[in-house]
Amino acid sequence: MGGVLGIAGATHLAATAHAPTVTGDRAASAAAPAAPAATAAGTFTIGGDLVVNRMGFGAMRVTGPGIWGEPKDPTEARRVLQRAVELGVNFIDTADAYGPEVSERLIAESLAPYPRGVVIATKGGLLRPSAPQWVSDGRPEHLREACEGSLRRLKLARIDLYQFHAIDPKVPLEDSLGELARLRKEGKIRHVGVSNFRVDELARARRVVPVVSVQNRYNLADRGSEDVLGVCTREGLAFIPWAPLASGSTTRLEGGADRDNERGAALEKVAAAHGASVMQVAIAWLLARSPAMLPIPGTGSVGHLEENTAAARLQLSPAELAALG
């Protein structure tokens, strides 16, 4: 999930130093293009076999306002997805509820047949009766129907990472995940992930099916999933944070508590020191927080995408990380 940001920070981070004048083979070497921005943060291996760059992309915002309907500019939305791959992003996260169904369809229209190594992760388990409504549905029959619908829209024979979007209080967790285990056995899902899970719920889930990732809200101001992150870090599960900037404007973090205000001030100070945006620093902080962290900042703008992805090159010092807490 991305913010509406300017491009000055991205320009600063993407700039390269002037190289000395060289000739011959050295000149050819010096002229070689820089590695794509998303590769700068290194890789993470999901489930033991899916190697992805740690700077991912969340495709929620390529839909219409309120994550509902078609995007205002479909051409720009498709270009965002294509540009993400050009920048080295090879992990794209979506869900059937985004649109609903719009995000998945746009991904396939923009990228299929998918470049080698690109991992498309999607989610099921939420319904959208109307724009403001997000209703849990963890019934096994619904999850099967949702998974098969995602396969069709994404033009995939198998979904590399299928995530249970949210627990349905009306359906036993074991029933919901048991159906995902069956879909995995049938070859329609390669790996299973969960979203919005507590530590105890994660432990229950892992007794039903191998879980390779957790997608929870986590950011500089909201660290309520710190214990879940700890489990993921220790046990090699991907931790996919959403809402990377929490609440706040495009230029500063706004918090009600004194501690949030302190962190917001520190965030702005670090951003100013690097000539970067607060969003870039927030993403860089996430990447530094744990080797299991796989951020997926999203946007519907190519300019914002380039800025967010450039954050993979931003290195925060130990002192800066300590100031951010």
- φ/ψ of 27, rounded to 5, equals -65, -40
3-state SS class at 317: coil
3-state SS class at 208: helix
Alpha-carbon distance of 193 to 213, in angstroms, equals 5
- The answer for residues whose C-beta is within 8 angstroms of residue 99's C-beta and 6 or more apart is 63, 64, 67, 68, 69, 70, 105, 128
Decide the pairing of beta strands 135-136 and 91-93.
unpaired
Task: Output the CA torsion sign for 193, 285, 283, 314.
Answer: negative
Per-residue CA distances from 26 to 17, 22, 31 (Å): 16, 6, 9
Of the candidates 98, 114, 162, 218, the residue annotated as catalytic is 98
CB distance 280 to 306 below 8 Å: no
3-state SS class at 190: strand
Catalytic residue status for 162? no
Q: Which residue has the tokens 């985004």?
A: 98
Alpha-carbon distance of 81 to 103, in angstroms, equals 10
Task: Output the CA torsion sign for 289, 301, 195, 51.
Answer: negative
Question: Which residue type is seen at 69?
Answer: G
- φ/ψ of 319, rounded to 5, equals -65, -40
Active site residues: 98
